[in-house]
Amino acid sequence: MRLKAIKIGGYTAPNNVFLAPLAGYTNCVFRHMCSSLGAGLTFTEMVSAKGLCYDSRNTRELLALYPGDDGIRAVQIFGGEPEYMRRAAQSAELAPFDIIDINMGCPVPKIFKNGEGSALMADIPRAQAIVRAVAASGKPVTVKFRTGLDGKHLITRDFALAMQDAGAALVTIHGRTRDKIYSGAVAFDEIAAAKSALSIPVIANGGVFSLGEAEELMGRTGADGIAVARAAMYDPFIFCALTGRPMPDKKSVIAEQIAKTFELFDERFAVVYMRKMLAFYTKGVPGAAEMRRSLFTCADRRDIEQALNRIPI
Protein backbone atom coordinates (compact mmCIF):
# COMPACT_ATOMS: atom_id res chain seq x y z
CA MET A 1 0.00 0.00 0.00
CA ARG A 2 1.46 3.34 -1.08
CA LEU A 3 1.15 5.60 1.94
CA LYS A 4 1.32 9.37 1.87
CA ALA A 5 0.10 12.36 3.85
CA ILE A 6 -3.09 14.05 2.63
CA LYS A 7 -3.55 17.81 2.79
CA ILE A 8 -7.12 18.98 3.47
CA GLY A 9 -7.29 22.75 3.60
CA GLY A 10 -4.95 23.80 6.40
CA TYR A 11 -4.76 20.31 7.89
CA THR A 12 -2.64 17.31 6.97
CA ALA A 13 -3.76 13.75 7.64
CA PRO A 14 -0.72 11.61 8.46
CA ASN A 15 -1.64 8.93 5.94
CA ASN A 16 -4.14 8.18 3.19
CA VAL A 17 -6.05 5.30 4.80
CA PHE A 18 -9.26 6.74 6.23
CA LEU A 19 -12.14 5.34 8.26
CA ALA A 20 -15.37 6.19 6.43
CA PRO A 21 -18.40 7.38 8.40
CA LEU A 22 -20.61 4.48 9.48
CA ALA A 23 -24.07 5.30 10.81
CA GLY A 24 -24.56 3.64 14.17
CA TYR A 25 -20.93 2.61 14.61
CA THR A 26 -18.27 5.31 14.31
CA ASN A 27 -18.67 6.78 17.79
CA CYS A 28 -15.70 8.43 19.46
CA VAL A 29 -14.40 5.23 21.07
CA PHE A 30 -14.43 3.30 17.79
CA ARG A 31 -12.83 6.22 15.96
CA HIS A 32 -10.08 6.45 18.58
CA MET A 33 -9.42 2.72 18.34
CA CYS A 34 -9.15 2.86 14.53
CA SER A 35 -6.80 5.84 14.75
CA SER A 36 -4.59 3.96 17.20
CA LEU A 37 -4.48 1.05 14.72
CA GLY A 38 -3.34 3.28 11.86
CA ALA A 39 -6.29 5.16 10.33
CA GLY A 40 -5.05 8.54 9.08
CA LEU A 41 -8.42 10.25 9.48
CA THR A 42 -11.78 9.23 10.91
CA PHE A 43 -15.25 10.74 10.66
CA THR A 44 -18.24 10.83 12.96
CA GLU A 45 -21.33 8.98 11.86
CA MET A 46 -23.56 11.25 9.81
CA VAL A 47 -25.31 13.99 11.76
CA SER A 48 -28.52 15.74 10.73
CA ALA A 49 -28.11 19.46 10.07
CA LYS A 50 -31.74 20.04 11.02
CA GLY A 51 -31.21 18.04 14.20
CA LEU A 52 -28.38 20.38 15.12
CA CYS A 53 -30.48 23.44 14.34
CA TYR A 54 -33.34 22.15 16.48
CA ASP A 55 -31.05 21.13 19.35
CA SER A 56 -31.81 17.41 19.16
CA ARG A 57 -30.33 15.51 22.08
CA ASN A 58 -29.77 12.40 19.96
CA THR A 59 -27.92 14.47 17.39
CA ARG A 60 -25.65 16.01 20.01
CA GLU A 61 -24.74 12.57 21.35
CA LEU A 62 -23.33 11.62 17.95
CA LEU A 63 -20.77 14.41 18.35
CA ALA A 64 -19.16 13.11 21.56
CA LEU A 65 -15.36 13.36 21.45
CA TYR A 66 -12.80 11.02 22.94
CA PRO A 67 -11.18 12.63 26.01
CA GLY A 68 -7.76 14.10 25.31
CA ASP A 69 -7.83 13.22 21.61
CA ASP A 70 -5.78 15.89 19.84
CA GLY A 71 -5.92 14.54 16.29
CA ILE A 72 -7.80 16.10 13.37
CA ARG A 73 -11.50 16.07 14.15
CA ALA A 74 -13.79 15.47 11.18
CA VAL A 75 -17.58 15.50 11.35
CA GLN A 76 -20.02 14.38 8.67
CA ILE A 77 -23.33 16.19 8.31
CA PHE A 78 -26.28 15.69 5.98
CA GLY A 79 -29.16 17.80 4.81
CA GLY A 80 -30.85 19.11 1.72
CA GLU A 81 -31.24 22.82 2.44
CA PRO A 82 -28.27 25.22 2.23
CA GLU A 83 -29.51 27.44 5.06
CA TYR A 84 -29.81 24.60 7.56
CA MET A 85 -26.42 23.29 6.48
CA ARG A 86 -24.87 26.74 6.96
CA ARG A 87 -26.41 27.12 10.42
CA ALA A 88 -25.25 23.64 11.42
CA ALA A 89 -21.70 24.28 10.16
CA GLN A 90 -21.50 27.48 12.19
CA SER A 91 -23.13 26.03 15.32
CA ALA A 92 -21.45 25.75 18.71
CA GLU A 93 -21.84 21.97 18.52
CA LEU A 94 -19.53 21.78 15.50
CA ALA A 95 -17.03 24.31 16.83
CA PRO A 96 -14.68 21.57 18.16
CA PHE A 97 -14.40 19.99 14.70
CA ASP A 98 -11.71 20.92 12.18
CA ILE A 99 -13.18 19.48 8.97
CA ILE A 100 -16.79 19.19 7.84
CA ASP A 101 -17.73 16.38 5.47
CA ILE A 102 -21.04 16.49 3.60
CA ASN A 103 -22.90 13.26 2.92
CA MET A 104 -24.15 13.20 -0.66
CA GLY A 105 -24.11 9.44 -1.04
CA CYS A 106 -26.42 7.87 1.54
CA PRO A 107 -28.79 5.52 -0.35
CA VAL A 108 -31.31 4.95 2.47
CA PRO A 109 -34.84 5.58 1.15
CA LYS A 110 -35.88 7.85 4.03
CA ILE A 111 -32.86 10.11 3.47
CA PHE A 112 -33.24 10.01 -0.30
CA LYS A 113 -36.95 10.90 -0.24
CA ASN A 114 -36.16 13.94 1.90
CA GLY A 115 -33.89 15.26 -0.84
CA GLU A 116 -30.77 14.50 1.21
CA GLY A 117 -27.80 12.15 0.83
CA SER A 118 -27.55 10.66 -2.66
CA ALA A 119 -30.60 12.66 -3.82
CA LEU A 120 -28.30 15.67 -4.12
CA MET A 121 -26.54 14.00 -7.05
CA ALA A 122 -29.66 14.71 -9.09
CA ASP A 123 -29.45 18.44 -8.34
CA ILE A 124 -25.93 19.73 -8.88
CA PRO A 125 -26.77 23.45 -8.38
CA ARG A 126 -28.31 22.68 -4.98
CA ALA A 127 -25.37 20.45 -4.06
CA GLN A 128 -22.99 23.29 -4.93
CA ALA A 129 -25.05 25.77 -2.91
CA ILE A 130 -24.77 23.44 0.08
CA VAL A 131 -20.99 23.21 -0.25
CA ARG A 132 -20.71 27.00 -0.43
CA ALA A 133 -23.01 27.39 2.58
CA VAL A 134 -20.94 25.00 4.69
CA ALA A 135 -17.68 26.57 3.49
CA ALA A 136 -18.92 29.86 4.96
CA SER A 137 -17.93 28.37 8.32
CA GLY A 138 -14.29 28.91 7.32
CA LYS A 139 -13.49 25.23 7.77
CA PRO A 140 -12.32 22.85 5.05
CA VAL A 141 -15.28 21.10 3.44
CA THR A 142 -15.15 17.59 1.99
CA VAL A 143 -17.87 15.71 0.13
CA LYS A 144 -18.66 11.99 -0.02
CA PHE A 145 -20.78 10.81 -2.93
CA ARG A 146 -21.38 7.94 -5.34
CA THR A 147 -20.90 7.40 -9.05
CA GLY A 148 -24.55 8.26 -9.79
CA LEU A 149 -28.09 7.23 -8.99
CA ASP A 150 -28.05 4.26 -11.34
CA GLY A 151 -26.04 2.78 -14.19
CA LYS A 152 -27.78 4.96 -16.78
CA HIS A 153 -26.83 8.16 -15.00
CA LEU A 154 -23.11 8.00 -14.20
CA ILE A 155 -21.97 11.51 -13.34
CA THR A 156 -18.87 10.93 -11.21
CA ARG A 157 -16.48 13.23 -13.06
CA ASP A 158 -18.96 16.06 -13.57
CA PHE A 159 -20.22 15.93 -10.01
CA ALA A 160 -16.68 15.83 -8.62
CA LEU A 161 -15.71 18.87 -10.68
CA ALA A 162 -18.81 20.70 -9.50
CA MET A 163 -17.91 20.00 -5.88
CA GLN A 164 -14.35 21.23 -6.44
CA ASP A 165 -15.64 24.37 -8.14
CA ALA A 166 -17.98 25.02 -5.19
CA GLY A 167 -15.06 24.92 -2.75
CA ALA A 168 -14.61 21.32 -1.62
CA ALA A 169 -11.09 20.59 -0.37
CA LEU A 170 -11.35 16.82 -0.93
CA VAL A 171 -13.87 14.32 -2.26
CA THR A 172 -14.49 10.71 -1.33
CA ILE A 173 -16.10 8.62 -4.05
CA HIS A 174 -17.96 5.41 -3.29
CA GLY A 175 -17.53 3.49 -6.52
CA ARG A 176 -21.12 2.25 -6.75
CA THR A 177 -24.39 3.84 -7.81
CA ARG A 178 -27.16 4.56 -5.34
CA ASP A 179 -29.33 1.66 -6.53
CA LYS A 180 -26.55 -0.88 -5.81
CA ILE A 181 -26.45 0.13 -2.11
CA TYR A 182 -23.33 -1.80 -0.96
CA SER A 183 -23.27 -4.64 -3.48
CA GLY A 184 -21.91 -5.08 -6.96
CA ALA A 185 -18.59 -4.27 -8.58
CA VAL A 186 -16.76 -1.04 -7.85
CA ALA A 187 -16.53 1.23 -10.91
CA PHE A 188 -12.78 1.85 -10.95
CA ASP A 189 -12.97 3.74 -14.25
CA GLU A 190 -15.48 6.24 -12.86
CA ILE A 191 -13.25 7.11 -9.91
CA ALA A 192 -10.24 7.26 -12.23
CA ALA A 193 -12.02 9.74 -14.53
CA ALA A 194 -12.78 12.02 -11.58
CA LYS A 195 -9.23 11.76 -10.27
CA SER A 196 -7.75 12.74 -13.64
CA ALA A 197 -9.95 15.85 -13.77
CA LEU A 198 -9.49 17.19 -10.23
CA SER A 199 -6.71 19.13 -8.52
CA ILE A 200 -7.95 18.33 -4.99
CA PRO A 201 -7.35 14.94 -3.31
CA VAL A 202 -9.63 12.07 -4.29
CA ILE A 203 -10.30 9.25 -1.83
CA ALA A 204 -11.68 5.99 -3.24
CA ASN A 205 -14.21 3.93 -1.28
CA GLY A 206 -15.82 0.55 -1.84
CA GLY A 207 -14.97 -3.12 -1.65
CA VAL A 208 -11.83 -2.95 0.49
CA PHE A 209 -11.60 -5.90 2.88
CA SER A 210 -7.90 -6.72 2.48
CA LEU A 211 -4.52 -5.23 1.57
CA GLY A 212 -4.79 -6.70 -1.92
CA GLU A 213 -8.15 -5.05 -2.53
CA ALA A 214 -6.83 -1.75 -1.22
CA GLU A 215 -3.88 -1.87 -3.58
CA GLU A 216 -6.14 -2.75 -6.50
CA LEU A 217 -8.47 0.16 -5.71
CA MET A 218 -5.54 2.57 -5.52
CA GLY A 219 -3.83 1.16 -8.59
CA ARG A 220 -6.85 1.08 -10.87
CA THR A 221 -8.22 4.49 -9.90
CA GLY A 222 -5.07 6.51 -9.27
CA ALA A 223 -6.80 7.81 -6.13
CA ASP A 224 -4.81 9.65 -3.48
CA GLY A 225 -6.10 7.34 -0.75
CA ILE A 226 -8.82 4.96 0.34
CA ALA A 227 -11.66 5.00 2.85
CA VAL A 228 -12.45 1.76 4.66
CA ALA A 229 -16.07 1.25 5.68
CA ARG A 230 -17.75 -2.08 6.49
CA ALA A 231 -14.45 -3.96 6.71
CA ALA A 232 -13.55 -1.90 9.78
CA MET A 233 -16.64 -3.12 11.62
CA TYR A 234 -15.66 -6.73 11.11
CA ASP A 235 -11.94 -6.22 11.56
CA PRO A 236 -10.65 -2.83 12.77
CA PHE A 237 -7.17 -4.36 12.71
CA ILE A 238 -7.28 -4.01 8.93
CA PHE A 239 -5.73 -0.59 9.51
CA CYS A 240 -2.58 -2.28 10.79
CA ALA A 241 -2.43 -4.40 7.64
CA LEU A 242 -2.97 -1.41 5.37
CA THR A 243 -0.49 0.91 7.06
CA GLY A 244 2.17 -1.60 8.10
CA ARG A 245 1.75 -1.05 11.82
CA PRO A 246 2.67 -3.93 14.15
CA MET A 247 -0.36 -6.02 15.08
CA PRO A 248 -1.21 -5.51 18.77
CA ASP A 249 -2.86 -8.03 21.06
CA LYS A 250 -6.39 -7.96 19.67
CA LYS A 251 -8.21 -8.88 22.85
CA SER A 252 -6.45 -6.13 24.79
CA VAL A 253 -7.49 -3.53 22.22
CA ILE A 254 -11.11 -4.72 22.21
CA ALA A 255 -11.14 -4.90 26.03
CA GLU A 256 -10.14 -1.23 26.04
CA GLN A 257 -12.94 -0.48 23.58
CA ILE A 258 -15.41 -2.14 25.93
CA ALA A 259 -14.09 -0.28 28.97
CA LYS A 260 -14.21 3.14 27.29
CA THR A 261 -17.62 2.53 25.75
CA PHE A 262 -19.08 1.78 29.19
CA GLU A 263 -17.22 4.74 30.68
CA LEU A 264 -18.37 7.32 28.12
CA PHE A 265 -21.89 6.12 27.29
CA ASP A 266 -24.83 4.94 29.33
CA GLU A 267 -25.01 1.23 30.13
CA ARG A 268 -27.99 0.44 27.93
CA PHE A 269 -26.31 1.89 24.86
CA ALA A 270 -22.96 0.31 25.74
CA VAL A 271 -24.44 -3.18 26.13
CA VAL A 272 -26.37 -3.05 22.85
CA TYR A 273 -23.48 -1.47 20.95
CA MET A 274 -20.81 -3.87 22.20
CA ARG A 275 -23.04 -6.89 21.56
CA LYS A 276 -23.20 -5.78 17.92
CA MET A 277 -19.47 -5.12 17.73
CA LEU A 278 -18.48 -8.46 19.24
CA ALA A 279 -20.87 -10.15 16.81
CA PHE A 280 -18.98 -8.50 13.96
CA TYR A 281 -15.66 -9.58 15.46
CA THR A 282 -16.72 -13.26 15.40
CA LYS A 283 -16.80 -13.26 11.60
CA GLY A 284 -14.83 -16.24 10.34
CA VAL A 285 -14.06 -17.80 13.73
CA PRO A 286 -15.11 -21.39 14.53
CA GLY A 287 -18.55 -21.59 16.13
CA ALA A 288 -19.38 -17.99 15.20
CA ALA A 289 -23.13 -18.58 14.86
CA GLU A 290 -23.43 -19.96 18.39
CA MET A 291 -21.26 -17.15 19.77
CA ARG A 292 -23.52 -14.55 18.16
CA ARG A 293 -26.60 -16.17 19.68
CA SER A 294 -25.04 -16.14 23.13
CA LEU A 295 -23.93 -12.52 22.72
CA PHE A 296 -27.49 -11.30 22.57
CA THR A 297 -28.17 -12.66 26.04
CA CYS A 298 -25.50 -10.36 27.49
CA ALA A 299 -27.11 -7.94 29.93
CA ASP A 300 -24.23 -5.97 31.45
CA ARG A 301 -20.55 -5.13 31.21
CA ARG A 302 -19.44 -8.31 32.96
CA ASP A 303 -21.36 -10.43 30.44
CA ILE A 304 -19.76 -8.53 27.57
CA GLU A 305 -16.25 -8.98 28.97
CA GLN A 306 -16.83 -12.69 29.51
CA ALA A 307 -18.12 -13.00 25.95
CA LEU A 308 -14.92 -11.43 24.63
CA ASN A 309 -12.89 -14.03 26.51
CA ARG A 310 -14.75 -16.79 24.66
CA ILE A 311 -14.00 -15.42 21.19
CA PRO A 312 -10.88 -17.08 19.70
CA ILE A 313 -9.22 -14.06 18.11
- Which residue among 243, 267, 289 closes a domain? 243
Contacts of 8 (CB under 8 A, 6+ apart): 41, 72, 99, 140, 142, 169, 170, 201
Rounded distance between C-alpha atoms, residue 81 and residue 282, angstroms: 41
Q: Is the pTM of this model over 0.85?
A: yes
Query: Are 267 and 206 within one domain?
Result: no
Q: How far is residue 206's CA from residue 274's CA, in Å, rounded to a whole number?
A: 25
Amino acid in position 101 = D
Say which amino acid occupies 121: M
Same domain, 238 and 258: no
What is the spatial distance between Cα 228 and Cα 211, in angstroms, rounded to a whole number?
A: 11
CATH number at residue 19: 3.20.20.70
With respect to residue 260, please indicate whether it lies within any of the assigned structural domains.
Answer: yes
Say if residue 140 is in the same domain as residue 256.
no
Can you tell me whether residue 149 is helix, strand or coil?
Answer: coil
Q: Kindly state whether residues 150 and 127 are assigned to the same domain.
A: yes
Query: Does residue 148 sit in the same domain as residue 288?
Result: no
Q: Flag whether 24 is in a domain.
A: yes
Q: Which amino acid is at 250?
A: K
Q: Quick check: is 146 in a domain?
A: yes
pLDDT in tens, the chain (313 residues): 899 999 999 999 999 999 999 999 999 999 999 999 999 999 999 999 999 998 777 787 899 999 998 899 999 999 999 999 999 999 999 999 999 999 999 999 999 999 999 999 999 999 999 999 999 999 999 999 999 999 888 999 999 999 999 999 999 999 999 988 888 899 999 999 999 999 999 999 999 999 999 999 999 999 999 999 999 999 999 999 999 999 999 999 999 999 999 999 999 999 999 999 999 999 989 989 999 999 999 999 999 999 999 999 8
Q: Judge whether 1 lies within some domain.
A: no
The residues pairing with 141 across neighbouring beta strands, listed in sequence order, are 100
Indicate whether 45 and 85 sit together in one domain.
Answer: yes
Cα–Cα distance, 95 to 138 (Å, whole number): 11
Residues taking part in catalysis: 106
Specify whether 147 is located in the same domain as 204.
yes
Specify the DSSP class assigned to residue 299: -
Residue 275 to residue 305: CA distance in whole angstroms: 10
In this structure, the answer to whether residues 255 and 218 fall within a common structural domain is no
Q: With contact defined as beta carbons under 8 Å apart, do 244 and 42 qualify?
A: no
- Same-domain pairing of 185 and 259: no
Rounded to 5 degrees, what are φ and ψ at 27? -75, 175
CA distance 24 to 149: 24
Domain assignment of residue 288, given as a range: 250-310
Give the span between the Cα atoms of 35 and 56, in whole angstroms: 28
Domain count of the fold of the chain = 2
